[in-house]
Structures are given as structure tokens and as C-alpha cells.
């Protein structure tokens, strides 16, 4: 399973893109920085959203506006009802940006954009991937996902934005197909209280959560660091890696690797 990190961060700053993980060149988890690939991304058909916060959806308006004249198939946005309603009501609403769900592709009868509602535990099948949502612990309803690649017979988990939770670790402990976990660690340990309020992991709480994981063979990818705290979090994660002996790597924009 090929992973390309289009955006690794929890906000935007020079040369640091917001959350977007491209899988097998076919499916993006979140859409904070997908247009970094330029016209190569125009035929992307599937975006699976964790939730509706701006750092996870920001590039959807730009992608569909630039790609709809050349699209062969609609852009499909998958997530829960509340997030779809937020996007259609507050962004793609004809006032802030055109409503591309009612704009047809050139020389085709289908609309350029299609909203696809999914529910907790509902498995969806997209281009050889089985994607199953579980609930994360954030300030709004947020889906984490198990992403299983039928070709490679392996899976990874992505938490979405989260604070303390048990289910992601329970899935990892019980499912041998899971080979990696992508975990939101937004803040350094000195910002623990802000992390609790905003429901993002700080590095010290991340370390506490790691002890719920009973497997040492998994690769753990840290993402969603807030750019202002990047150096602190990276330094603290480095120390956590030494203490715990877990296989931890911090995601960066532009990384590509196989799971």
C-alpha cells in the first residue's frame, strides 16, 4: 500500500501543509493540502474526511473548481452527515464558493461533486481499499479509520483529531492485519491543558496512550503537529521513542512510503 503525505500538519505555515494522506494515488484521507500535486490530482475521485474542521477540508473548493472542466467522474466526498452538511451549507453554498454538487462536468450529465454519507462501523469499498470508520475523541464528531488494502493484505489506522481514547489501541491490539497507526500529536507537553480543552494529544499524553498498545511491531506515524510547536514536539517525540522503544516516525510533507 503506497502512502504519499501531501500535508502533515494541523495548521498552515510557509512550506508546511495541512492534513492530507494520499493512498495508492486513488484515495485521500482529508484534504488540507491536496492541490500541492497540481494538475496530477485533477482526476482524484475519492476524499474520505475525518471531520469538517478547516485544516482537513481547505483544498476541496480549489480542487473541484480547477478540475471540474476536465473531470471524467465526479469528486466524491465521504464522511458523516454533520460534516457534509457543514461543507454544503457554509462553504460550497453559492455564496462563499459555487455549489459544485449542482454543476455538471463538461459534456457529461453527472454533477461535478457528490456527497456520500457514511456511518460509524460502515465499511466502504473504494478501489481495492476497505475503509471502516470508528469514533475519535474530538470537539466535534470525528471519524478515525481502519484502511485495509486487499492487494497487500495489510491495514493501517488513522486517528483523526483526537485526545485520549481506547478504541484505536484496542483495534491495533486485536487485528494482526494492522501494520501502522497514524496518530494526532498536536502540542508539546507544556500545552497539555490546551490539548485537553481542544481535544488534541500533547506529547506527554501521547506517551501515556502508547502504553495501551501491546504490540511492538507496529510503526507509529505522528502527524498534525501545530507548526508553531513543531521543534518542541519533534524533540519530545524523539525522547519518547528512546524511552518506549516503539517504532515512531514524524510525518513530513512530501514523504512517500509503503505499508
Residue 159 sits in a domain whose CATH number is 3.60.15.10
Query: Which of 141, 72, 68 minimizes the C-alpha distance to 99?
Result: 68
Across the chain, what does the average pLDDT equal?
A: 97
Q: In percent, how much of the chain has pLDDT > 90?
A: 99
Give the pLDDT band of residue 206 (cuts 50, 70, 90).
Answer: very high
Task: Residue 68: give the domain boundaries.
Answer: 2-258
d(CA 69, CA 60): 15
83 has pLDDT over 90: yes
Q: What is the separation, in whole angstroms, between the first and last Cα of the chain?
A: 5
Q: In percent, how much of the chain has pLDDT > 70?
A: 100
Q: pLDDT at position 193, please? A: 98
d(CA 246, CA 255): 20
Q: What is the pLDDT of residues 91-111, one digit of tens each?
A: 999 999 999 999 999 988 899
206 vs 137, 186, 212, 220, CA distance in Å?
A: 13, 10, 10, 11
Q: What is the pLDDT of residues 8-38, one digit of tens each?
A: 999 999 999 999 999 999 999 999 999 999 9
Question: Residue 258 in contact with residue 2, Cβ under 8 Å?
Answer: yes
d(CA 163, CA 143): 13
- Mean pLDDT over 46-70 rounds to 97
Query: Which of 227, 223, 220 minimizes the C-alpha distance to 244?
Result: 220
User: What phi and psi, each to the nearest 5 degrees, are found at residue 31?
Assistant: -145, 45
Q: pLDDT at position 67, please? A: 96
Beta strands in 69-218 (DSSP E): 75-79, 113-117, 124-126, 129-136, 142-149, 154-158, 178-187, 201-202
Total tally of structural domains belonging to the chain: 1
Q: pLDDT at position 107, please? A: 87
Q: What 3-state class would DSSP assign to 50?
A: coil
Q: pLDDT at position 108, please? A: 87
Amino acid at each position: 500500500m503506497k502512502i504519499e503525505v501531501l500535508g502533515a500538519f494541523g495548521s498552515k505555515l510557509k512550506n508546511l501543509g495541512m492534513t492530507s494522506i494520499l493512498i495508492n494515488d486513488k484515495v485521500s484521507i482529508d484534504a488540507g493540502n491536496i492541490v500541492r500535486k497540481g494538475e496530477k490530482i485533477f482526476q482524484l475521485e475519492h476524499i474520505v474526511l475525518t471531520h469538517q474542521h478547516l485544516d482537513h477540508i481547505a483544498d476541496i473548493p480549489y480542487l473541484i473548481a480547477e478540475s471540474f472542466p476536465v473531470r471524467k467522474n465526479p469528486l466524491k466526498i465521504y464522511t458523516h452527515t454533520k460534516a457534509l452538511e457543514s461543507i454544503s451549507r457554509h462553504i460550497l453554498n453559492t455564496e462563499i464558493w459555487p455549489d459544485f454538487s449542482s454543476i455538471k462536468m463538461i459534456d457529461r450529465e453527472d454533477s461535478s461533486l457528490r456527497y456520500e454519507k457514511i456511518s460509524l462501523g460502515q465499511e466502504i469499498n473504494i478501489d481495492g481499499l476497505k475503509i471502516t470508520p470508528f469514533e475519535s475523541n474530538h470537539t466535534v464528531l470525528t471519524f478515525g479509520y481502519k484502511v485495509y488494502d486487499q492487494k497487500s493484505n495489510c491495514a493501517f489506522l488513522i486517528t483523526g483529531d483526537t485526545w485520549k481514547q481506547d478504541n484505536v489501541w484496542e483495534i491495533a491490539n486485536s487485528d494482526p492485519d494492522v501494520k501502522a497507526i497514524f496518530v494526532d500529536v498536536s502540542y508539546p507537553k507544556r500545552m497539555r491543558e490546551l490539548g485537553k480543552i481542544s481535544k488534541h494529544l500533547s506529547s506527554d499524553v501521547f506517551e501515556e496512550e502508547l502504553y495501551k498498545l501491546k504490540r511492538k511491531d507496529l510503526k507509529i506515524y505522528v502527524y498534525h503537529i501545530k507548526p508553531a510547536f513543531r521543534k518542541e514536539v519533534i524533540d519530545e517525540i524523539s525522547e519518547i521513542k528512546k524511552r518506549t522503544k516503539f517504532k515512531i516516525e514524524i510525518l513530513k510533507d512530501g514523504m512517500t512510503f509503503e505499508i
